[in-house]
Amino acid sequence: MGLIGDIKGTVSQAVFTPSKLLSGRGGLHMAQILLSVVTFVLAAFRGGSSHTYWNYAMFTWAFCPIMTLVITIIETMMLDILLDACLDWSDFTTGMAMSSTLMTVSVAITYANFYACLKCPYGWIVTIFAFLCAFVYTLEVVKDKFMDKKKGTYLAALPGFWKVMEAFVSCMIFISLTGYRDKPALIVCVILYIIPFPILPLIIATNILKKLKLCLPFNLDRFVFIFLVISVVLYIIAAILWPIFMFRNNPRPNDCPPSYCIWAIQFMVAFLTYVNLILFTVDLIFTLLGICGFKRT
């Protein structure tokens, strides 16, 4: 009865507070939702494409405002006081703002590269809205971290930040994969990229769900350490195989334009492989230091 009474008491405090919509944070959320929806509609009206970057852009402009809307509704109804029992709400929202910023900034850049040109005025209109969308999400991160001085426990702190970056770079690798289907060594690379990816969101979810983390029958930090060791080894192998088997006897074409050049996209996969290798290695070092007793700030 005590637990049920606490829950009822918490729910009774959840009331609609429209003043939150008029705050600086609420205004940013409204701008994010509006600009994302407008950008999505404009891009959809322009016409679709079979390119994976197009699909990624449309997913981003749909996913980010939906998550922002959910967060806004929860905070407006003051339901976050109920969720605080199982997760650090402030850390979660800051982490989502960081993830949305990464996604919208990357989409704005790739959309400008692939769909904006001197003879494509409509493409420039969508690009401008895409950068405005990225700007308002960046503003929220700046507000949280530098103006409000929010200190995250995981997602907005260093351990979670590495995981978010690793997952983001992995996604960029997946949407850039091309030209590997007839080469067994490159198919092996794709498998190496896939193996660590589904474990990253599980680690993130377990760390932000405080109750779940306490129920684990093993030490999560040691599990993460083993996972990072395996991930580093996998990415070392991929960092060797992909450049060798992709670019051997395959020099950059003379007519390779900035956009729609398969070779440039294949090179991007190689570059992002090294980026993720560095991220996993640095994350491994910080995790090892944490296990050994060094405090992480």
Please state, in angstroms and as integers, the Cα–Cα distance from residue 138 to each residue in 12, 56, 204, 280, following that order.
34, 19, 22, 24
The dihedral sign for the CA sequence 142, 145, 150, 151 = positive
Write down the pLDDT at residue 11: 53
CB-based contact 73:20 (threshold 8 Å):
no
Token representation of residue 156? 């907005």
The per-residue pLDDT string of the chain (297 residues; one tens digit each, 9 = 90 and over) reads 444 555 555 555 556 566 566 677 888 999 999 999 999 999 998 776 667 888 899 999 999 999 999 999 888 887 777 776 677 888 888 889 999 999 999 999 988 888 877 777 888 999 999 999 999 999 999 888 777 777 777 887 888 889 999 999 999 999 999 888 888 999 999 999 999 999 999 999 888 887 777 777 778 888 999 999 999 999 999 999 999 999 988 888 877 765 567 888 889 999 999 999 999 999 999 888 876 666 554
CB-based contact 196:170 (threshold 8 Å):
yes
Write down the pLDDT at residue 3: 47
Write down the pLDDT at residue 81: 74
Burial status of residue 108 (CB atoms within 10 A of its CB: 0-12, 13-18, 19 or more): buried
Beta strands in 62-121 (DSSP E): none
Q: What gap in Å lies between CA 192 and CA 276, rounded to an integer?
A: 12
Write down the pLDDT at residue 186: 92
Q: Give helix then strand counts, H and E, for the chain.
A: 12, 0
Write down the pLDDT at residue 157: 81
Write down the pLDDT at residue 20: 62
Please state, in angstroms and as integers, the Cα–Cα distance from residue 255 to each residue in 26, 176, 195, 262, 263, following that order.
48, 20, 35, 11, 11
CB-based contact 34:139 (threshold 8 Å):
no
Helix (H, G, I), strand (E, B), or coil: what is residue 149? coil
Domain boundaries, the chain: 12-152, 157-297
Give the global pTM.
0.86
